[in-house]
Amino acid sequence: MTETTERFFATLPARAPAVLRSPVRGTLQLRLTTGDHCEHWRVELAPGSARVTRETGPADAYWYGSIDLFDRLVTGRAHGVASMLRNESTLTGDVVLFLAFRRFFPTRPGTRDPRTVAREQTGRPA
């Protein structure tokens, strides 16, 4: 497991109150692979809270992807839904849990809100 991924999971509980404001509740099991090695992360999501463990077990949704892809997701160099559409990752179960979880991922470096860009181009105040 990379230090980037470890740090990402370590920060989830503290970031959850700001990120998880919807009534989504459930367990997401992430299975990150490289070669023949598999890392397991279990995230229990609830409004305003996230609990992270390395346990495995029944979950409401399962996300499968490579450790490399997950590192790109947590650094903003990849997009979670796009990775599924390109068959780089797979999700089974409650898709709403992954949609809530992806809010923890940062945006691509240099990304700007299109409304701000339009205001700048038209000369209107923000």
The Cα 114–Cα 49 span in angstroms is: 30
- CATH number of the domain enclosing 80: 3.30.1050.10
Mean pLDDT, range 61-83, rounded to an integer: 95
pLDDT of residue 126: 57
**What rounded mean pLDDT belongs to the chain?**
92
In the predicted model, is pLDDT for residue 98 greater than 60?
yes
68-97 burial: b if 16+ Cβ within 10 Å, else e? ebbbbbbbeebbbeebbeeebbebebbeeb
Domain extent at residue 41:
3-122
In the predicted model, is pLDDT for residue 108 greater than 90?
no
Mean pLDDT, range 12-35, rounded to an integer: 95
Number of domains, the chain: 1
